[in-house]
Structure 1
């Protein structure tokens, strides 16, 4: 990971000092580096975990993720990211969007070094990521289950890139075809669970814990798993909460009231239980990985995603 950090710092440099500053902004703010970590961990299932392609792939997925954050914050009008000012808040939307584009282009340059198959995988991943983002803005169709629609959105916008992280690690680490398939499925499930954990944290945590403005999705009217589960309630005691969830929550007082009611609603525990179940399903995919330290770490990774508090 230390080598990945060093490489990333070089990849965000531009011949223009301002571009370097903007592109380094969110990376310097920190982050969990979940995607490159998973690349490195998955590579340990193969015969070549130290292959240079593993490090390059780890940088590809993190640069892609960083790029998407710049665009996400513009869409969400978010003021905070990782405890620091978002790029759009520090500069403006134009700078944030173009910086995201710059980082996407840098990830594409690196992917080309990995060969045609990696380029194809990256392109397919990017297609799914963008489709997921667009689907999130589209109203649920008649007769469509809102929760199923949302889970499909999450699989695209988050699960796809984390699946590719595990897949890249297995491929460039020299794992067998069976392990490559299993880890891709594992990554998809873990990736979706990671986003769903974010949904829960967006409601349950304050900005000190999460580094983000709490209830951002709620304020913007973006549906998340706890909200959708709460909206399915038929309990008369939830009348006020349901009214708020259908209201304009740009008002600070209404937003705070909705957050307070959601935090104590049974939907929060149902959402947590669902995520824990997803982690268990992900671990089942690891049966083809020989028992030992690597498999134990992958299982622990899934559990951490499901139970994290920040």
Structure 2
């Protein structure tokens, strides 16, 4: 997937660069924010927002600030996630707190969240509510993740509740916000929200699976979250647990594709299909360098 060549990716990447450039040059904040915001990644969530908006008839420019707000709150969540996990590497580079210290990293996360709120405030009530709800659910999901780790819990219902809040919520909000920005009706918004939920859930299951199989070569943490394989292997052999996990992911991906196909054929629709395939590329076989 050559997402770097897409208009959506290039637009959000330029907006991100411009945002970092506007930060006071004499401030340490600029260095910390640049470290996390310019460390690569596919900008999947904001690209999903822009594509959803285009499918609903809007242009990139109308949704760009909303997309940037999504990328900034996602970046803030990465900082906080690395702090909670005592992460050492992120996208092949040292984490922000490893380079600049815990206080600077925490403040950078706060800064990114504040900027994202400023950006989203220019949009309507529905967009703001969607964004705020996602932020709260992400925090709830992270708290659940910590609790599951502390209790060494591998409960199926708790696992899915955790990842739907921690990860799928922002994917769902990204797709829904794109539709809202374009003025779509609630039925259309609901379809995009459900698509994002399916995509985000599948993505997190695969991400956890990569940690389980030690195939992630661009992230290193002291604390590893439970995976769906951990849940299933309580009652079956490892090979069967992996096969069952793959089956769940394939079902989620299939359902995500079905939702996308409800909309008229277009380049934007095709690109959502590509993103869905890429986010779960190889189903655990060749995704060690995935950067979303």
Residues 117-155 of structure 1, C-alpha deviations (whole Å, 9 max, x = no match): 322221111111111111122359xxx981111111100
Aligned position for 1:49: 59
Using a 3 Å threshold, how does the CA distance of structure 1 residues 205 and 173 change in structure 2: closer, same or farther?
A: farther
Unmatched runs of 5 consecutive residues or more in structure 1? 236-261
Question: What is the aligned counterpart of 1:304 among 274, 278, 281?
Answer: 278
Aligned to 1:291: 265
Alpha-carbon distance in structure 2 between the residues aligned to 1:85 and 1:155: 27
Displacement after TM superposition at 1:272 (Å) = 2.0
**Where do 4+ consecutive residues of structure 1 move more than 6 Å?**
none
Give the distance between the partners of 2:242 and 2:268, measured in 1 at CA: 32
Q: Is 2:24 the partner of 1:19?
A: no
Structure 1 residues 217-232: aligned runs within 5 Å:
220=223, 222-232=225-235
Partner of 1:250: none
Task: Calculate the TM-score normalised by the size of structure 2.
Answer: 0.85
RMSD: 2.3
Worse overlay, 108-117 or 284-293: 284-293
Over alpha carbons, which structure has the higher Rg? 1
* Higher RCO (C-alpha under 8 Å, 6+ residues apart): 2
Matches for 1:202-281 after TM superposition, within 5 Å? 202-207=211-216, 210-213=217-220, 216=221, 220=223, 222-233=225-236, 265-281=239-255
Structure-2 residue corresponding to 1:248: none
Describe the SS at the equivalent of 1:270.
helix
| 1:137 aligned counterpart, secondary structure | helix
CA distance in 2, matches of 1:25, 1:139: 30
Q: Tell me what 1:3 maps to.
A: 11
Alignment of 1:130-149 (within 5 A): 130-139=139-148, 146-149=155-158
Question: 2:208 aligned to 199, 222, 247, which one?
Answer: 199
Q: What's the offset of the Cα at 1:221?
A: 5.4
Distance, in Å, in 2 between the alignment partners of 1:267 and 1:147 is: 13
- What's the secondary structure of 2:55's corresponding residue? coil
Point out where structure 2 has 5 or more consecutive residues left out of the alignment. Answer: 1-8
Distance in 2 separating the partners of 1:61 and 1:94 = 23
